[in-house]
Amino acid sequence: MLGEILKKSVCAQCRFCCAFRRVSLWEVPYISEEVYQKQPDKDRFEKIRASDCDCYRIILENDYKTEDPEEEAPCVFLDPRKGCTLSDEDKPLDCKIWPIRIMKKDGGYVLALSPTCPAVNKVPRERVRKVAESIENTVRAYAKEHPYIIKKYIDGYPVLTEFDRL
Ligand code: SF4
Ligand code: SF4
């Protein structure tokens, strides 16, 4: 969805957003029941117990080998050579739109930019904003059906678009 500002070849050399420090575990995407049912190793996932979420989280907590807070645990769907092994259809929307996030802010909603993607940080902000505008309706519609993808706004995340309701 972000092909205009993010080249697959650049992401293939990076993979930053597919591995997680302990402090970033809140960023780990949730997968749907349908995708969960296709997984051979169900022990890698746990059901989210929330009324707004018929979905599963990936358990990465047991994958850290050291106490180093900088250590990263790769997503279970990451192949070091091929990248994400999920089909486009199964890939969580969170991953398709990252580093853009939908967040709750001041009683409304925003599409905001995670400041940690090195590639998108080199793109003029106006271009990123235009891409955010172009995907806003899709993200809003998805978030209405899957409210669990809405994160709490984090200070310092540049706001790209704002809206009062989904
Ligand atoms: S951090 Fe940015 S450049 Fe790196 S893989 Fe993720 S989206 Fe691509
Ligand atoms: S599901 Fe795929 S794109 Fe998303 S974090 Fe895991 S490996 Fe990366």
Give residue-wise pLDDT tens across range 62-88.
999 999 999 999 999 999 989 999 999
Cis peptide before 80 (omega within 30 of 0): no
Please list, in sequence order, all residues whose beta carbon lies within 8 angstroms of the beta carbon of residue 20, skipping any fewer than 6 positions away. 27, 28, 60, 72, 73, 74, 75
Q: Is the pTM of this model over 0.85?
A: yes
Tell me the CA–centroid distance for residue 92 and ligand 2, in Å. Answer: 8
Q: What is the identity of the amino acid at 74?
A: P
Query: CB of 166 closer than 6 A to ligand 2?
Result: no
Q: What average pLDDT does range 85-110 have in this prediction? A: 96
> Which token pair is 12?
């293939």
**Nearest ligand to the C-alpha of residue 12?**
1
**Residue 47 has what pLDDT?**
93
Residues 27-34 have a mean pLDDT of 92
Opening angle at CA 119, ends 105 and 141, nearest 5: 40
Mean pLDDT, residues 80-108: 95
Confidence band, pLDDT 50/70/90 cuts, at residue 122: very high
Residue 53: the pLDDT is 75
